[in-house]
A and B are shown apart, each in its own frame.
Chain A
Amino acid sequence: MKNNILEVKHLFVDYSVSKQKTDYVLRDLSLNIVEHEFLGLVGESGSGKSTLANTIAGFLEPVEGEIFFRRNSLQNLSFKEKIKTTNAGIQMVFQDPYDSFDPIMTIGEQLEEPLIIQDKLNKQNRKNKVFEMLHNIGLVEEYANRYPRQLSGGQLQRVAIGSALITEPDLLLADEPVSSLDVSVQAQVLDLLQDLRKKIGFACLFISHDLSVIQFLCDRIAVLNQGTIVEVGKVDEIFDNPQNPYTRQLIEDSEFLSI
């Protein structure tokens, strides 16, 4: 039996400024991800998918509920303490690859940065690791000296995934990483994630509104509607026998669009 890497319990997240008036984006949300598992999170725009990822990553504070990472509670910890507790074991990949990189740093510098922060390797070993990761994500060594604007969207998203995985985290939060890419490039990025999963071994919360992507990549699927998980289960089970009307509607819409 595999251990839970992430457990989210009864999470409430609210964006409203006023203390009297609450408008929950996430309400009573609970889910778990076990080691090396890929959990797909689907839901329409505004259902709270990115909010959940940002809350798990520590960019947003929940109003109520708890998040456990490797059985350690992340509640009431400052961002610095969270990073220390998780040992930077939660990494995130964003939707827009162009905005995910510091425009004035080279690709090599950006891949090396997490290793510098961790301070576990010397300069030569860091350099070797950067080249190894470039190789893993299908780019040649010369790309280390290029700047983000000199790469295509697909190449940048591969680098973003490489940069997130270079420190070998336990959990990757992928917030719609392929939705801004065209279909052929999407397939390359999804193949890369599959490859790296086999090579490195990590769990992933993969957010998407595209059910076919989730079906291809994930082990389980969680359906989010208006801030609440309405259905969760193995991908095949959900696709073959959806229980919730909202899930059925999502699957029907996705089948209609793919015709």
Chain B
Amino acid sequence: MTRYIVKKIIDMIITIFIIVLIVFAMFELIPGNPARIMLGMNASNAQVAALEAELGLDKSIFVKIYTYFSDLFNGDLGFSFRFQRPVIELITEALPYTLFLALYAFFFIIILAIPLAILAARKPNSKLDNFIRISSETCLAIPPFFMAIILMLIFRTSQLALQGGSVDFDLNNAFQSYWMPALAIALSRLAMAMEFLRDSIIEQRESDYVKTAIGKGASRSRVMFFHIFRNSLVPFITALGLILAEVFSGSIIIEQVFLIPGLGRSLVTAVEARDFQLTQGIVLLIAFIVVFVNFCVDLINQFIDPRIREQNKKLYKSRNTFFLRMKNQANLDSQKKR
């Protein structure tokens, strides 16, 4: 298990390194002079040159990569020209809103998807199953921002939206203020989680081991939760990992609708103001979160399913055997040469 975690951490570091490189390259490849774009077309050449020097744009690509990575390593994501503050400060302020909104939406997805999937799977293709699936698929077809507007119309209020953005972030208040944007995101992502779990439950229920458990006299709830549900968790958790990543991206638009001062709102403001450093910082952070979520999903799956543990063990074993063979072959070759 420890070896697996270490391997996964190394994988995560490599992935993050590649992401940082891509984000860096992306902003390097933007056509035109970033300093000119940031200052606008009316800025003088001297002003542009001064900004270029300040941002280090006049230096060679290798120096720029080195500076970028060393700054990042020291927790320095640059300086926002739009807000005239360090990017890290702005992100630290905005992050709790987005994090809370995403986790709140994720909570809604879990508490809605599990009972709905169990209900739908009870009698596949029944009226109830079809109703649940059609409803959730309809929600999937509606973009989160439009879902938010529908919810506002249903509950005949926009008060909550304004409240969400105007108050300081505190947990007690947040649960009350953020339920609507969280539900809007959750409803649009619910279908995927629900259908993954439903299909998995139906598949597991047909297995002989379920019949064996029933024949042993296990109660319906024991069969469902102790056998079927636990075995259905791996595909469900994998789907949840993907959904959580989508929930973060979904919150970008929702924050605009509900005026929530989170990362999404900051990102839109940064893009509008051509604030490259802030944009870069937020894009990186969202990518880190997605990678970290996937890392957690892998660990949870490894923990709950012995088949995955065994598979990884075999993989290590075969790899070790392969390296051992290579080593032995190398020794033999060197002996022959002697």
A residues neighboring B (CB under 8 Å): 57-59, 79-80, 83, 88, 90-92, 94, 96, 99-104, 113-114, 117-118, 147, 149-150, 160, 163-164, 167
By the criterion of a CB under 8 Å from any partner CB, how many residues of chain B are at the interface? 22
Separation of A94 and B214 alpha carbons in the complex (Å): 13
Question: A-facing mask of B194-223, CB < 8 A → 1, else 0?
Answer: 000000000000011101111111111010
Residues of the A chain whose Cβ atoms lie less than 8 Å from the Cβ of B209: 99-103
Separation of A87 and B64 alpha carbons in the complex (Å): 76
Residues of the A chain whose Cβ atoms lie less than 8 Å from the Cβ of B227: 102
Q: Is the CB of A92 within 8 A of B211?
A: yes
- Shortest beta-carbon distance, A101 to chain B, in Å? 5
- Shortest beta-carbon distance, B219 to chain A, in Å? 8
Separation of A83 and B230 alpha carbons in the complex (Å): 24
Interface residues of B in 101-121 (CB under 8 A from A): none
Q: Which of these, B208, B216, B217, B231, contacts A96 with CB under 8 Å?
A: B208
Does B306 interact with chain A (Cβ within 8 Å)? yes
Residues of the B chain whose Cβ atoms lie less than 8 Å from the Cβ of A104: 230-231, 304-307
Separation of A190 and B310 alpha carbons in the complex (Å): 31
Q: Is the CB of A91 within 8 A of B307?
A: no
18 more CB-based (< 8 A) A-B contacts, given A94-B208, A149-B307? A57-B211, A79-B214, A83-B217, A88-B215, A88-B216, A94-B211, A99-B207, A99-B208, A100-B208, A100-B212, A102-B209, A102-B227, A103-B209, A103-B307, A104-B230, A104-B306, A147-B310, A164-B215
- Shortest beta-carbon distance, B202 to chain A, in Å? 16
- Shortest beta-carbon distance, A112 to chain B, in Å? 11
Separation of A92 and B213 alpha carbons in the complex (Å): 10
- Shortest beta-carbon distance, B308 to chain A, in Å? 10
Separation of A104 and B305 alpha carbons in the complex (Å): 6
Q: Is the CB of B310 within 8 A of A150?
A: yes
Contact flag A102-B213 (CB < 8 Å), given A96-B208, A150-B310: yes
Name the residue in B214, B216, B220, B305 with the highest tally of chain A Cβ atoms < 10 Å from its Cβ: B216
Q: Is the CB of A117 within 8 A of B217?
A: yes
- Shortest beta-carbon distance, B25 to chain A, in Å? 43
